[in-house]
Structure 1
Amino acid sequence: MGQGKEVKTRPDPQVEIQERGEIFFFYRPKVNKEEAHSVDDVQRLYIVMRPESGENPVEEKQDPLSGKEGSGKDSGDGDEASGSSSGTNNRSEGGHGVEKVNIEKQILLRFIVMGKKTLPDPSKKSQPFWGFVEMVTKNVEDVKNALKGEDYETKTRGHRHKPPARAVGEGIYRILRHKPTPTRKHHTHLVYKLEFPSGEHEPQESLNIEPEGSFLIQIRNPEQGGGGRSGFGGLKRKRKAQFPAHLQAHLGHTRFGAADPPDFLNYEGCEFLLISASDDIEQELGMELEPDSVGECDLLKIFGDDVVATPLLRGTWD
């Protein structure tokens, strides 16, 4: 599939492409459930992004020595899951130091946890959904481990089983800058188009993973407190992103800012809001996304048989 291409459908679509890549969606059934039959059986929704090109082929990410890379422990899967806090697993504060990654030549993966079980409803344009970057890594095995199931013991409930995550969508994405006008402030979009599954199916509809979608994406300023309109208290202080000074300067004293540059998403603990903009990219932005080829599932190429892919390939719950 690759990163696909964008096709302009209006002479001046008023957008600038910041980043191109592949996007994958996963859900994890609730603890002690072997499978999900509806969204009520879902514990967590994940997004994995693989940037492959952009305005700057060399992006910045946190230094691996920050103590965070590859930890891959999503604290939201256990019995105490909450959208307002994410417990720690003895993780170090991250963001110290910078590593350069040529995304055209090296694999880079972002493992993202959404605060709700679904993406935002396209019909509710003003409702923000909170999420955060749990892991940034150049090692595919780190993401495979984050998607695996595990058995563990608790003091109050005894033996617990966390089932493996299921792949439920694969497509291409763009992060783009919507050019400001006298009536429109500087902002950025995350847009995507699915290749798998083709058509509309129940799991994807229930999770609001439309065949294509456009969201405003706003980066939360880790130096500004308060849940504000996001409705979430967010991550605890020691888990918040620590951006280098030149990135932090882009946010200034605002609570939320544009994902410009997309390098913000290369720091674990980066919190953001997704706000539905449209389920018709062409009508909204004057462009269409087209995959490079049809019929090749890159998710299986990247993650192999380690990932349960029935919802992705058949469009049915598993």
Structure 2
Amino acid sequence: MARSHRSRRSKKTKSQTEEKSIKGKLLEHGDIFFFYRPKVRTEEVRDIENVQRFYMVTSPDNSDVHRIFLVGQKRLPEIVEGKSSSEERNWALNVLTSSNPHEIRKEFLPAEYQTETRGTRRIGAAVPAGEGKYSIVEHEGHSELAYILELPEEPGPTQREFQIKKEASYIVSVKNPDIQVPGYNAFLKRKPHYPNSLKEKFGNRRWINVEDPHLLDYENAQLLLIGARKKDVEEELGIDIDEEKETSRTAELFNDLKIKKEQVPLKPLFTGKFPRKNDIPFAQEIKRLSIEEAPGRGGKVGGKIAASSSASAASVAKVLSGIKFPKNKDQLIHYAEQNKYKVSKPDVVIEALKELHATHFENMSDVEKALGAIR
């Protein structure tokens, strides 16, 4: 049965809504959630360096579908109005679509796996970091995903670490699975199985707008997100997202996704702060991972989906040999692109540099430390 929602608080008059509807065509509306998963054996997350994965979940209205997207660089794209840079864009990969909310909940459980040298290893449960309402809109020749955050009421340190704003929008495009795109080589073996009716929409284009939201329903669907707006998204796009005032009792996270309050730390969701060790509940359910699902094996929970997993320190050093420091991230990437002939797999190296969280480097040691933080 499709989900239904409580009546929302409309903030606009009918005439205002009609006037705005001319600007943007609403394609989809629903609930959006953000989660992060700590790194292996991390008891307390203090910043993004302690985080293994960052996820975005979309649950459209009038549908049973829930989609989990793994977001690259462990954060949403930075939004710098009036400026274009590599930090404003990011990828997202559909790692699970299900009409069963218990499957979504299970995906975020803590997990254990066996290693040959270190015995049993544990990955902590995914922690909710935000809840809100989102819309996908056709606007001036492109599609945008816009959201307004409901929980926490105001973004805190946790949300700032993942670039989760009070409100924001991103130009969103879907990758053609049959055309190779530079920088996306890590996804060559991960292709969504679109039916012909959806495949035909791509034609010979590398990227298309989200003209049909069903494009997002298929596992391994690959998205490109480009930062667009961080304020007045409803006015700019001509839509009413109609967020609600949520509480621990009414939050859709618990009602729709069936996340159990007693099994996850709630501090990031309600106060915007990272939980301390004492705030983390004892794990009542633990998922067992196979060897293939374990970190470093390409699994959904901890596998290295990004190209950074296979970019060796030696290949990065070879591509950057001769560079003069200090350099910012964009300059590193530009230099690597100019010297990619030095290694056999340059796209893997360049993608790894794009994954770096640091933006300023005084020497090669800084680069190596930044690479280590994303492995």
Question: What is the TM-score of this pair, normalised by structure 2?
Answer: 0.64
Trace 1:1-318 onto structure 2 (pairs within 5 A).
4=8, 7=12, 8=16, 11-12=19-20, 13-53=22-62, 103=63, 107-123=64-80, 125-126=84-85, 127-179=88-140, 186-227=141-182, 231-237=183-189, 239-280=190-231, 281-295=233-247, 296-302=250-256, 303-305=259-261, 306-318=263-275
Shift of 1:234: 3.7
Greater helix share, 1 or 2?
2
Tell which has more relative contact order, 1 or 2 (C-alpha 8 A, sep 6+): 1
Shift of 1:128: 1.8
CA deviation string 1:119-174 (max 9, x = no partner)? 00111645320111111111111111110111111234433211101000000000
Shift of 1:39: 1.2
Shift of 1:283: 4.9
Residues in 2 aligned to 1:145 and 1:263: alpha-carbon distance in whole angstroms = 23
8 Å CA contact retained: 2:137, 2:237: no
Shift of 1:219: 0.1
Q: Percent of counterpart pairs with the same letter?
A: 30
Q: Which has the larger radius of gyration?
A: 2
Shift of 1:308: 3.3
8 Å CA contact retained: 2:26, 2:239: no
Superposed CA RMSD: 2.1
Question: What is the TM-score of this pair, normalised by structure 1?
Answer: 0.75
How many pairs are equivalent? 256
Distance 1:202 1:3, change over 3 A: farther
Distance 1:233 1:39, change over 3 A: same
- SS at the partner of 2:61? strand
Residues in 2 aligned to 1:166 and 1:140: alpha-carbon distance in whole angstroms = 16
8 Å CA contact retained: 1:113, 1:131: yes
8 Å CA contact retained: 1:3, 1:22: no
Where structure 1 has 5 or more consecutive residues not aligned to the other structure, the ranges are: 54-102, 180-185
Residues in 1 aligned to 2:6 and 2:230: alpha-carbon distance in whole angstroms = 22
Structure 1 stretch 303-312 or stretch 22-31: which is displaced more? 303-312
Greater strand share, 1 or 2?
1
8 Å CA contact retained: 2:151, 2:246: no
- SS at the partner of 2:70? strand
Distance 1:161 1:246, change over 3 A: same
Residues in 1 aligned to 2:212 and 2:203: alpha-carbon distance in whole angstroms = 14
- SS at the partner of 2:180? coil
Structure 1 stretch 152-161 or stretch 132-141: which is displaced more? 152-161
